Amino acid sequence: YPMKLLPQVSSVILTLQRFPSHSTMNISKSGYRVFSANSTTACTELAKKITERLGVDLGKSVVYQESNRETRVDVKESVRGQDIFIIQTIPRDVNTAIMELLVMAYALKTNCAKNIIGVIPYFPYSKQCKMRKRGSIVCKLLASMLAKAGLTHIITMDLHQKEIQGFFSFPVDNLRASPFLLQYIQEEIPDYRNAIIVAKSPSAAKRAQSYAERLRLGLAVMHGEAQCSESDMADGRHSPPPMSSGRTTSGHPGLELPLMMAKEKPPITVVGDVGGRIAIIVDDIIDDVEDFVAAAEILKERGAYKIYIMATHGLLSAEAPRLIEESAIDEVVVTNTVPHEVQKLQCPKIKTVDVSMILAEAIRRIHNGESMAYLFRNITVDD
């Protein structure tokens, strides 16, 4: 530069150093941003609790539905070069919440965010993770959509099946809510030493065993169901379609397959003594509560004098609050991974455990590049 311009250049540099840009101030302050992709107020409560624990402000954005129900997302601040965490709790309108998350992630990707981490405490469609006759594995489809939208990492909690993590092409941190539920049992259930952990079905026995071992309590398993269970529909390959009388088999004439016998479920039985005990049923999701109500009735008949249900995700759809209120269940304890304030107003038996602490700590550790092992201490493989 000519000598006469040097003072002007120097003054500009000093001015820039004295008054850094807004985005520079944001990066130096925290280096990451936390957004909520929900358009409903009730679903942003968890995001607010997490940001309060982190000591940061919730990112400025607007998420809303157009008159024709299209989802629109407007990000109101710079995210260039930053780690962005999108907190998405899933309300009853599951598909709208998924679309909000996808559009938000893609908007952040196109605005040059460095990393986009989805915080999805309850992962939707997690029950559709197995092939069912001529259906599809929808959970795998959702994982591909999230990756295509721009997500680079996911934080979730108590996946319905741990193998779901294999559907993703990026890292997944599957946190556990069991430490918070165990703490509730120890602090809020009087005489919990006289309790017994109950698995509602053999498939839930491993989770129940994990709780029983950490609480030093006994274990009971319920077997047999009055209705067709989810596991019966897991694979349709054992039940070929019936052949009409006018059709002939197209197989090899010399091929004779062994006769396939249909399952016959025994009546509900309880393996383990629950007489004079507090029965604590543990599961990952409580949605339609008919099975839990039936299990509570059986446990009452077997002599249990109090019935508790502990679950991570309280979806509590349809008539769940009324059925719980009218049942033999004394208390239903769920976490705040899913908003259920309306259901709590309808049924005072529903209690909530806050898990925002572990989600906030996971965000902090991922941003700082710290190990996540501390969040999984004393967690068993089967939990």
- Sequence-ordered list of residues with C-beta below 8 angstroms from that of 349, at least 6 positions apart, any chain: 324, 325, 329, 330, 331, 332
| Mean pLDDT for the stretch of residues 137-152 | 96
**Band (4; pLDDT cuts 50, 70, 90):** very low
Q: Return the closest-CA partner of residue 282 out of 270, 292, 271, 267.
A: 292
pTM of the predicted model, to two decimals?
0.83
Task: Reply yes or no on whether the pLDDT at 251 is more than 60.
Answer: no
Q: Pick the residue with more confidence: 230 or 195?
A: 195
Residue with the larger pLDDT of the pair 43 and 239:
43
Return the higher-pLDDT residue of 233 and 89. 89
pLDDT tens digits, residue range 294-315? Answer: 999 999 999 999 999 999 999 9
Residue 383 has pLDDT above 50, yes or no: yes
How far apart are alpha carbons 86 and 151 in whole angstroms?
9
Across 151-165, 187-201, 228-242, 300-314, least confident range: 228-242
Q: What is the pLDDT of residues 331-353, one digit of tens each?
A: 999 999 999 999 999 999 999 99
Q: Which residue has the higher pLDDT, 19 or 296?
A: 296
Q: Helix/strand/coil (H, E, C) string of the chain?
A: CCHHHHHHHHHHHHHHHHCCCHHHHHHHHCCEEEEECCCCHHHHHHHHHHHHHHCCCECCEEEEECCCCCEEEEECCCCCCCEEEEECCCCCCHHHHHHHHHHHHHHHHHCCCCEEEEEECCCCCCCCCCCCCCCCCHHHHHHHHHHHHCCCEEEEECCCCHHHHHHCCCCEEEECCHHHHHHHHHHHCCCHHHEEEEECCHHHHHHHHHHHHHHCCEEEEEECCCCCCHHHHCCHHHCCCCCCCCCCCCCCCCCCCCCCCCCCCCCCEEECCCCCCEEEEEEEEECCCHHHHHHHHHHHHCCCCEEEEEEEEECCCCCHHHHHHHCCCCEEEEEECCCCHHHHHHCCCEEEECCHHHHHHHHHHHHHCCCCHHHHCCCCCCC
Residue 290: phi and psi, rounded to 5, are: -60, -40
Asked if the model's pLDDT at residue 228 lies above 70, the reply is no
Mean pLDDT, the chain, integer = 86
Position 26 scores a pLDDT of 39
Query: Is 31 or 277 the better-scoring residue by pLDDT?
Result: 277
Whether the predicted pLDDT of 377 surpasses 90 = no
